[in-house]
A and B are shown apart, each in its own frame.
Chain A
Amino acid sequence: MGYEKRYDGRKFDELRPMSARIGVVPNSSGSAIFQMGKTVAIAAVYAPKLLFPQFLQDDEKGVLRCEYNLMSFSGSGERVRPGPSRRSKEISMVTEKALLPVLNLKEYSNCAVDVYIELIQTDAGTRCAGICAASLALADAGIPMNDLISAVAIGRIENKIALDVTKKEEDYENGMADIAIAYSLRLNKITLLQSDGDLGRDELQDAIKLAKIGCEKIRDVQIKALKAKFEVIKDE
């Protein structure tokens, strides 16, 4: 018996309900909240700041620093140990690399652009929600960028490829593989591709195709969130 029907009744190519808003942290240069089902990420950007220690400074461009953190109450029951862990350090690093290709930090020479991503509630797909939120926060902070980044998690559950998996699906007993993909749709570039579990070549290709469809929908939500704050100007 295979995995025929998803636990929450969605279609296999259907995303969870999303919402996004910018300007949620007034003290920061730019911020955003991005929600995907039960996964909620808040990102705040602080820039430009002088970068110390000085040997890290780059005379030609700014340095992007991301920090990904799960809040201690964010999981379902068990308390997440606060502070950096091996996992969160790795995700901070891949987030940085996922965002860098679209950023132009020439203006911020010798400076740091700090991005803090906090997950206040998690239900799988946290790094993807974090990247979506961070991309919005960077746009809100007025950092020059070529494109927005959208990200989504794909799962292979037995013989089915499913878009935007939940925690329950991620914990599926046998035949589960999950892939996190971040896309720059205008440049048609994949900026993040991580996979966990056994996966065939064809399955991976199918997953990437599905991710592109998902990212297009996520991008629409992101664009709407960015424009929502200034909608009224057009009427003037």
Chain B
Amino acid sequence: MAGRLLIEDKEVVIPGQELAEGMDYLPGGNIIREGEKLISVKLGLVNVSNRLLKVIPLVGGYSPKKGDMVIGRISSISSMGWRVNFGWAYDAGLSVRDCFDRFIEKDEDLTKYYNYGDYIITLITNIMGNKIIDISMKGTGLRKLGPGRILKICPAKVPRVIGKQGSMIQMIKEYTNCRLLVGQNGFIWLSGNNIEDELLAIKVIKKIEDESHISGLTDRIKEYLEGEVGIKNGL
């Protein structure tokens, strides 16, 4: 039996919408099969690539995935390591072993490495049943974050803030002279030379979050940044 597609590529679909009929199509992320039908379980954009369908959610919180780089906050310390909160219901465990190559004494004071309330950028290495999450600090760019601001945005908007091949984030960095790090969980760390730069960067990121679904985003943000930077330089 030949399958039939009931939607177009890049269409906004709602939970419970039938996407395709027949066994020719395969369910990807956020899609379930019920009998012969493929059904979306989330509000999002549908992506059709040959026979595989998937729904990219437009709303919702962050759910941890293996291999994600996230920004988290140290929430508690034990003798074995740290607990890190990154916006999910459960805190992730960071063991001492996954931080340093050198030997750490058993009774060493761990607060001198990462203290309560410190923000770190880290990698999710393993997830067991959504409850036990292991993270690691071994990898390029994984470190404790220095003085700066933490901003929280909707995790579904993270790809928009980063842009195609990092074009959007590169543009913000150029115009505002801020250092920026975006975690997959929607936490953004930013640090600039002065307060005005940082506030401008925050304003721009909020603007991207609000207008991410309107076409011509990159051009609009560029225009906005040029205008703002022009005012600052007295042009």
Contact = CB atoms under 8 A, between A and B. Distances in A.
Interface of A: 29-30, 47-50, 102, 104, 107-111, 139-148, 186, 223, 226-227, 229-236
B11 interface: yes
B15 A49 contact: no
Nearest to B91: A50
Chain B interface secondary structure, helix, strand, loop or mixed? loop
Nearest to B211: A232
Interface stretch (B19-27, B40-48, B92-100): B40-48
B129 interface: yes
A30 B16 contact: no
A234 B213 CA distance: 9
Interface residues of B, number: 31
B59 A146 contact: no
B145 to A, nearest CB: 25
Contacts of A234: 10-12
B41 A144 contact: yes
Contacts of B57: 142
B39 interface: yes
Interface of B: 10-12, 14-16, 18, 30, 32, 34, 39, 41-43, 45, 57-61, 63, 88-90, 129-131, 156, 213-215
B61 A142 contact: yes
B16 A230 contact: no
Contacts of B90: 50, 110
30 contacts: A29-B60, A29-B61, A30-B59, A49-B89, A50-B89, A50-B90, A104-B41, A111-B89, A139-B15, A141-B60, A141-B61, A142-B60, A144-B15, A145-B15, A146-B15, A146-B34, A146-B41, A148-B16, A186-B39, A230-B45, A230-B58, A230-B213, A233-B10, A233-B12, A233-B45, A233-B58, A233-B215, A234-B10, A234-B12, A236-B10
